[in-house]
Amino acid sequence: MMCILEICVKARKYWSKIHTWLEKMIKQHIDLKPEIFLLGIMPEGYDKGTIYLILHVLTTVRIVFAQYWKNENTPSDEDVIQKILDCAEMDRLTLKIKDKEDTEYYQHGIDFMNG
């Protein structure tokens, strides 16, 4: 049986990685706080497009994390990236159906994952 402390260390490492990725995507600082990363409660100071991007990415990475809750390991980078790309594509298609333009979520996600 895995030690709870070891699980916490792995979870902390996972969320730190997501934090770093998000900062690179939005090109600004974001606090690594539970209310942001686990609950999606955003502080003031971010524009609407940035909030949209952050909330969509965080929702996606929480889904991936939850899918691994019984595993000893956290999701691989490849699994997380693929899920972000899948969700960004679904968002893009949903907006296309509604005759709206692509969001920063789709473009930033594609740009970040490709380079």
The one-digit pLDDT tens for each residue of the chain (115 residues) are 344 545 588 888 999 999 999 999 999 999 999 899 989 999 999 998 899 899 999 999 999 999 998 888 899 999 999 999 898 888 888 878 877 766 656 566 666 666 6
Domain hosting residue 64, numbered range: 3-114
Q: Are 74 and 61 in contact (CB under 8 A)?
A: no
Q: What tokens were used for 30?
A: 């974001």
Number of domains within the chain: 1
Note if the pTM is more than 0.75: yes
CA atoms of 38 and 34, how far apart (whole Å):
5
